[in-house]
Amino acid sequence: MLIFGWITLLLFPVPGFLLQFFFNDVTFTDFIDLKSYSVLHLFLGLELGVVYGFISYLFVRSPFFEKMPNRIDHLVKGMNLKVYHGLFLSFCAAVGEELLFRAGLQSFLGPFFCSIVFVALHGYLNPFNLKFSVYGLIVLPFILLISYGMEPFGLLFCIAAHFSYDAILFTFMIKED
């Protein structure tokens, strides 16, 4: 599983950068949006992710999701991860996926469609699994907030929100009995 973290961190940004480089003449420093980094945006993103992570965790633990096959919390528990593994995977997903989707694809798809694609590619908008789709509808507003927050708050906001959301979920899922 940790190999997938490294792949996400190192390889996912490549197609996003190449799209921006060849179609929009974006340099690497512009792609990673260094000019908009701010401590305030970092903390706003972290706060959004923590709050939405708690909300999502409460939904996942509701009776509606109890009989769902392949529950994400059971899959995570079965991997026998430590909390630091979950934090590493959260970091990798946040950086790699946000560089691909927000910095790379969003300027072509727009925030709304980029969010739909993001959630769908995670398997959460599945017409053959109602409960996964319901979870997708719970996650979608969070991803929309991140996507629409890209322009005013920058990439660091998106990465911080994604990281803290995943970190909350991983931590609770790893620690629960």
Q: Is the pLDDT of residue 43 over 90?
A: yes
**Mean pLDDT on 114-140:** 91
pTM, rounded to two decimals? 0.94
SS3 sequence, the chain? Answer: CHHHHHHHHHHCHHHHHHHHHHHHCCCHHHHCCHHHCCHHHHHHHHHHHHHHHHHHHHHHCCHHHCCCCCCHHHHHHHCCCCHHHHHHHHHHHHHHHHHHHHHHHHHHHHHHHHHHHHHHHCCCCCCCCHHHHHHHHHHHHHHHHHHHHHHHHCHHHHHHHHHHHHHHHHHHHHHCC
Tell me the pLDDT tens digit for each residue of 124-133.
Answer: 898 888 888 9
Check residues 38 and 69 and name the one with the higher pLDDT. 38
